[in-house]
Amino acid sequence: MFLVFQPSNTAYGLGFNPIDLKWDFATRSSVVPYLEIDGGTLFTNHTVPAGTNTVNFTSSGVFGMHLLGPRYNWSIEARYMHISNAGLAKPNPGINTFQVRIGIGRFLPKKQ
């Protein structure tokens, strides 16, 4: 899900990333760094950037860490994301963002 604040309007959107390559570095500790690249499509209710297109493509590069705990696992990552329409509309200025993301998760026991 996306929320893009623009001077002309606020755009809401949904994205689908079928390409996601992630490398977890094997460690023997509770800190597991990873690298990730991904790409997909973004559909919005208004043009993003304003005056371009409601269909865009996204690509990201990520460096992050999993922090494994006894019950819950945290993750923190730095993500560079590019959004553009890949020439479907003119102009095609694109948007570049830098994001810091924090997440929490839990591994469920394997059923026998």
Instruction: Tell me, yes or no, whether 55 lies in a domain.
Output: yes
* Gap between the Cα atoms of 70 and 109, Å rounded: 13
What is the number of domains present in the chain? 1
| Residue 101 belongs to domain with CATH number | 2.40.160.20
Each residue's pLDDT tens digit, 14-45: 999 999 999 999 888 999 999 999 999 999 99
| Reported pTM | 0.82
Instruction: Tell me, yes or no, whether 27 lies in a domain.
Output: yes
Range of the domain at 19: 2-105
Instruction: Tell me, yes or no, whether 111 lies in a domain.
Output: no
Each residue's pLDDT tens digit, 71-81: 999 999 999 99
Instruction: Tell me, yes or no, whether 110 lies in a domain.
Output: no
Instruction: Tell me, yes or no, whether 12 lies in a domain.
Output: yes
Length of the chain: 112
Instruction: Tell me, yes or no, whether 112 lies in a domain.
Output: no
CA-to-CA dists, residue 41 to 38, 59, 72, 73, 110, angstroms: 11, 9, 31, 29, 33
